[in-house]
Every structure is written in structure tokens, then in C-alpha cells.
Structure 1
Amino acid sequence: MKFTIEVDTTGNGDYMEYKPFNVAPCKTVNYTFPKAFHARWIRFFTDKETIATTLLNYK
């Protein structure tokens, strides 16, 4: 399944694709954003109907 991260860097609803991930069923993907990463909003999409959880850990 393909998960895609979209980000809005302005806060005006101008989302753009940031990074896609291929994820196998029942698997976890860990990703660390670069230190210079900045976004006002972030959202996640899948290419198929699914039940999934995304978790962001701000440090």
C-alpha cells in the first residue's frame, strides 16, 4: 500500500506531496524529518481503503 505525506508550509491550504512510502500490511515505518523541515499542517493519504494510524513525535 502506498502512504503519501502531504504538507502545507504556508498554512493557507496549499498542500503539496512531500514523500511517498510503500508499506506492507501490518508493518511499521519510521521516518525522521530533516532538521530544517517546516510545515504548518501535515496530512497522510493512502492509495487504497484501509484502517491505519499515523503518529508524530515532536522533540
Structure 2
Amino acid sequence: MQFKLSALVFAALAAVAVASPTPQQGTNCKTIFFPNNCSSQGQVQCDGSGGIIVCCDRCF
């Protein structure tokens, strides 16, 4: 009984860890602000919201 309970708790924690990984935008990312853009940094835009832009060498 104890083993089944431990296995259930471990499985639940593993599922949560897989479901919420650390967000990654790409490689060598920088956060810049409007009016700058990624091309002025020699990078590509991977993410952004409003006046905040995430520029990276390569997006995932």
C-alpha cells in the first residue's frame, strides 16, 4: 500500500513538472524595448508583448 501511494505522488509531481517547463524563447536572447527592433540587434524576433520585444539568434 505504501509503495502505491508513493508511486502515485511521484507520478503526480512528474506530470506537473512536465506540464510547466521553464519558458525558453531561443538562443542568446535579449529583451529590447520599442522603438528598437531585432534587426538593429542582428537577431530575429521570437516573442513580444506591447513595447517589449524578445530578440534571439534563433527561435525555438
Confirm or deny a common fold (TM above 0.5): no
TM-score normalised by length of structure 2? 0.24
TM-score normalised by length of structure 1? 0.25
Q: If you compute each CA radius of gyration, which structure gives the higher value, 1 or 2?
A: 2
More helix by share: 2
